[in-house]
A and B are shown apart, each in its own frame.
Chain A
Amino acid sequence: MTAPAANAVEPLLELDHLRMLFPVREAGGKRAHVHAVDDVSLAVGEGETLGLVGESGCGKTTLARCAVRLLRPTAGTVRFGGDDITSLGPRSLRPYRADIQIVFQDPQGSLNPRKRVGQIIGAGLRLAGGGRRDDARVGRLLDQVGLAPEHANRFPHEFSGGQRQRIGVARALAVNPRLIVLDEPVSALDVSIQAQVINLLDDLQEELGLSYIFVAHDLSVVRHVSDRIAVMYLGKVVELSPAEELYNRPVHPYTLSLLAAIPVPDPRLSRSRAHHAVRGELPSPIDPPGGCRYHTRCPAASDLCRQVEPPLTVYPGGHQAACHHPLNVSSADIAAAVRSPASSRSAGPDLPAAPGASASEIPESADR
């Protein structure tokens, strides 16, 4: 279990010390591994939305695919409704496929261009329902996502991007799932259409009691849908917090930088605020830095950060962060802090000793 917030409800999906390594051959034939997901523990409760945020290459999509069991993790466990599904084969996974569905980022590439919408949505129904066609149900599903039943006879190319994403959602809903993993579901859409799709997802969750894992690269999008948000960096969870908390009181310097990088649509405000732009680039996940993985880019990094990986620390209120020099916490918070069982096994034993700088004290970093 990861957070008191989710302790109240039975977790639907639990990821426990999950690792996903991809083998690669480096120049010279040396074998190496991409550490896409490196010891991550997360849980999603019934009816809950967990936002999963990070830059490209942080492992969020890989984690999502492990959760849906499109990938078989290298180590760790995936439990759904208490059952261990980590290494089930295709046949034994079948019953769980209806419970866990996924909506992909690219609404163009994830719909078969040669099938009619009715066939696309009906395929899951047919597989789960013993081979029968159910046109009435397809019609109801289309209606549910804001399309018309007569759209069942059209092909994907006849729809706009936003409408195609609605089709993707209808396909996921067809088998009555309990959990839907949404992998960047609105990133490919225009702003005004993004809001439409997010509102639709909101309505469906309320109506059907769904759980969501909402993957996004942008903190402004997940804010509206998430109950809790996990921030990933280079294969690790660096911060996990109730949604609004994360925006009001980011504890990890990386989260602060992510928030500061989002442009504000208000010229006076955006030109006057201090910039904490992230310096440099994401290190290679083949050979991630030792200690805290963020230390190569962190303005507050110390020798400790370079040597010892910080454990995920739970602060009062359920806010968790893996940082030796946490922002926005008081000495009292530190005194009450405990090590989270979700901490990486490679993390050091010691919790933060003293609060780090407050956000305003962090030195402004150069843009390069």
Chain B
Amino acid sequence: MTALLQVEHLRVSFRTEEGVLQAVDDVSFSLGRGELLGIVGESGSGKSVTAMTLLGLTRGPNASVSGRALLGDLDLVSASERQLEHVRGRRVAMVFQDPMTALNPVQRVGDQIVEQVRAHEPVGRREAMDRAVDLLDRVGIPRARQRARSYPHEFSGGMRQRVMIAMALSCSPEILIADEPTTALDVTTQAQILAEIKTLREQTGVGVLLITHDLGVIAEVADRVVVMYAGRVVEQGSVEEIFYDPRHPYTWGLLGSAPRLDKPRPERLPTIPGSPPSLLHPPLGCRFAPRCAWRLEACSSEPDLKSDGPVASDHLGRCWLDLGTARERRVVGGTIGLPVRAPAGASRRPGDEPAP
């Protein structure tokens, strides 16, 4: 699979009154044609800032961005504003979480799509409107020609999100970035929208970067997964690797605390203790260590993102635990999880120190 997008060592920080906030810290990943890459993490993990940076939306006098994000030959980090204008909407399109605020409330939805099409391509109004109607029809909006004349408030949340997706696809982009596209929707509507995204990817070969906090959504649609925590990638791999052979205790915690309807109801819901750190003062060493039940002495310095298997692979984790120990420890009560507290003295037992 040739990479459509190659992100390398992306760093984004913002100067604030309280100091420098490192929102994204050395993030690298690639997205292939027709691939659906999920970025998962809690709020404040840097997943949305990563996405916005790819479209040049985090530029500003108080922001500093470094690293590279190659879309073909073009580096989106160093691209000029004019170059970005040709990228936004045409080569890389975005679907936001809240379709109400992302659409213009006083313009008919058909006209909004027409405007985008004509901004990028030399087509007439009528032709552009035909295309808009086609798109609305394709994303499952009934009576598309009539509905193109409606205003955003005349649609339900799910239908508005379909309009957003239709608009995003209007210039046949190479990449679709969907930032929590279903979080504001009901579960029934979410299922419909996810099915829509899957179908479109198969039909058009668009590469999708799906940002979500919901592992259920990831399990349903993603091919590969990047797990972010406090601005860092802590684990990445195929969807199978992340769900069935996770390396990082944070991933274990996320998997363990996701409610499971397919399993018997546990006495208590598993949680990850504590809360994510402030990005103004991230912990030294491994950023997850303060919440980790398996904390070791070594965790006061940060491990590299590396492949732990006997053969080098694309499954990378950022943890000092060696693979064997990790596979043992991630099992809590028969399933993958993170214990709230490690058994007393666990981190001091001899033999626990990882091999360097």
Q: Which of A190, A217, A244, A257 has the most CB of B within 10 A?
A: A190
B157 within 8 A of A: yes
Contacts of A220 in B (CB 8 A): 259-261
B-side interface residues toward A, CB under 8 Å? 42-43, 140, 156-159, 186-192, 194-196, 213-220, 222, 239-240, 243, 253-255, 257-262, 265-266, 268-273, 275-276
CB–CB B195/A277 < 8 A: yes
Q: Are A267 and B243 in contact (CB under 8 A)?
A: yes
Closest to A259 in B: B261
Please determine whether B187 and A262 come into contact, CB atoms closer than 8 angstroms: yes
Q: Which of A202, A218, A261 has the most CB of B within 10 A?
A: A261
Q: What is the CB-to-nearest-CB distance from B137 to chain A, in angstroms, rounded to a whole number?
A: 11
5 examples of A-B residue contacts, CB within 8 angstroms: A190-B43, A192-B271, A198-B269, A221-B259, A257-B188
CB-defined contacts of B194 to chain A, threshold 8 Å? 263
Contacts of B259 in A (CB 8 A): 220-221, 223-224
> CB within 8 A of B188: which of A55, A162, A193?
A55
Given A56-B157, A191-B254, A263-B214, are A219 and B269 neighbors across the interface (CB < 8 Å)? Answer: no
Q: Are B270 and A195 in contact (CB under 8 A)?
A: yes
Q: How far is the CA of A191 from the CA of B156 in the complex (A)?
A: 26
Interface of A is mostly: helix
Residues of B within 8 A of A278 (CB): 188, 191-192
Contact, CB under 8 Å: B272 / A192: yes
Contact A262 B216 (CB under 8 A): yes
Give complex CA distance A193, B306 in Å.
Answer: 29
- Give the residue of B158, B260, B269 whose beta carbon is less than 8 angstroms from that of A264: B260
CA distance A168 to B243 in the complex (A): 35
A275 within 8 A of B: yes
CB distance from B138 to the nearest CB of A (A): 11
User: Given A162-B275, A263-B217, A277 and B191 touching (CB < 8 A)?
Assistant: yes
Binary contact track A271-293/B, C-beta < 8 Å → 1, others 0 = 10001011001100000000000
Q: List, in ascending order, chain A residues with CB within 8 A of B187's CB.
A: 55, 217-219, 258, 261-262
Instruction: Determine whether the beta carbon of A192 is less than 8 Å from that of B262.
Output: no
Query: Which residues from B are CB-within-8-Å of A153?
Result: none
CA gap between A198 and B158 in the complex, in Å: 28
Evaluate whether A277 and B192 lie within 8 angstroms (CB atoms) in the complex, with A191-B42, A195-B257, A267-B219 already known: yes
A112 contacts chain B at the CB level, 8 A cutoff: no
Would you call A247 an interface residue if the criterion is a C-beta within 8 Å of the partner chain's C-beta atoms? yes
User: Bound state CA distance, A261 and B182, in angstroms?
Assistant: 12
Q: Does any Cβ of B come within 8 Å of A199's Cβ? A: yes
Q: Given A191-B213, A277-B192, do A263 and B219 touch, yes or no (CB 8 Å)?
A: yes
Inter-chain contact B269/A265, CB cutoff 8 Å: no
A266 at the interface (CB under 8 A from B): yes
A31 at the interface (CB under 8 A from B): no
